[in-house]
Amino acid sequence: MKQNQFSVLLSFLVFVVILWIPSVGITGKEQTECHSFKNFFSMTLKANEVGFMFFGPCSSVIVRIADKTILFDPSCLCKSVLEILNKEGIDLIICTHSHWEHFSKQTVLELFKGSQPHIAIDPNMVLELKKDIPREKLITPAPGRIYNAENIVIDALEGMHIGSEMLFRITINGIKIFHGGDSAYVPLQTMVSNLAFVPTGNPSPTCNPEYAYQMIHDMKPQIAVPMNGNDIQHVTFMKLIEKNLPGVKVIIPERYTSQKVLIQK
């Protein structure tokens, strides 16, 4: 082989490798995500058991109770995960606000095409979705009012963040679950819950472990799950709870790891 032929062949091989390396990375990440979502849906749940999985990056959580599946703050999801969610079926999507880590219009529309879930959003986001989602499926809650989406009861109040944000509570079969988005502390005595997801910090400038602790102090759930924060902030939050509210169990979630909890009603 002449030297210039060899150079051409070498350049071609380098080009192929450059194309191949990132695709291996993406495939590996997608495989991990798909595996975790399949595991999540394969969990069997007894009455009063709740299954949940934190999948990040900030406060994205999927929850199953009885025959209902709820997605909180899903951001951009890969095609293969969307296919799994559409196959399994989603009953309700909740988006606390419009920041990219908590909301992706494309994801919501792809999921709506799949199982046509109800979609509950901060009313300030309504322009994003009202052209594409039928009015009867779009819930834009007013504080203090109660909504029913096929036996999922929904209520909400205003959070405190950069721009507007709503904090939601859902009730299914008497089990109440609260999700605090990435809000600063707001009084939550009206949001008494069994299971509460609360934000402890990064990357939100309005959250910190003390605010998350105060949220839990107001709601006194059986189980508190920190999210939207780093490991140090989660541990600081957990120590505050252990010291001051020993009756509350804290579960620091591992990303993409399914959890099953029994709720004592």
Residue 227: which region, alpha, beta or left (left: phi > 0; alpha: psi -120 to 50)? beta
Options 67-75, 142-150, 176-184, 237-245: segment touching Zn ion (CB under 5 A): 176-184
Nearer to Zn ion, 99 or 118 (CB): 99
Which CB sits closer to Zn ion, 99 or 179? Answer: 99
CB-closest chain residue to Zn ion: 99
Nearer to Zn ion, 182 or 218 (CB): 182
Interface with Zn ion (CB under 5 A), residue from 182, 208, 216, 261: 182
Greatest Cα pair distance in the chain: 80
Q: How far is the CB of 45 from Zn ion (least distance, A)?
A: 31
Q: Which of 99, 176, 179, 234 binds Zn ion (CB under 5 A)?
A: 99
By CB under 5 A, which span of 27-35, 95-103, 141-149, 184-192 interacts with Zn ion? 95-103
In angstroms, rounded to a whole number, what is the distance separating the alpha carbons of residues 39 and 102? 23
Among the residue ranges 63-71, 80-88, 149-157, 178-186, the one whose residues contact Zn ion (CB under 5 A): 178-186
Burial class of residue 220 (count of CB atoms within 10 Å of its CB; 0-12, 13-18, 19+):
middle
Q: Which amino acid is at 234?
A: H
Count of residues of this chain found to bind Zn ion when the rule CB under 5 A is applied: 2
Please list the residues that pair with 225 across neighbouring strands: 197
Q: Is 72 helix (H, G, I), strand (E, B) or coil?
A: strand
Part of the chain binding Zn ion (CB under 5 A), chosen from 48-56, 99-107, 146-154, 246-254? 99-107
Among the candidate windows 81-89, 92-100, 188-196, 227-235, which touches Zn ion by CB under 5 A?
92-100
Select 36 or 183, whichever has its Cβ closest to Zn ion: 183
Nearest distance in Å: CB 46, Zn ion: 35
Cβ-in-10-Å burial (0-12, 13-18, 19+) of 117 comes to buried
Q: Is 179 in the site for Zn ion (CB under 5 A)?
A: no
Strand segments, DSSP code E, in the chain are 49-54, 61-65, 68-72, 92-95, 118-121, 138-139, 147-149, 152-158, 166-172, 175-179, 195-199, 223-227, 249-250, 258-262
**Min dist. Cβ of residue 186 to Zn ion (A):** 14
Residues that bind Zn ion (CB under 5 A): 99, 182
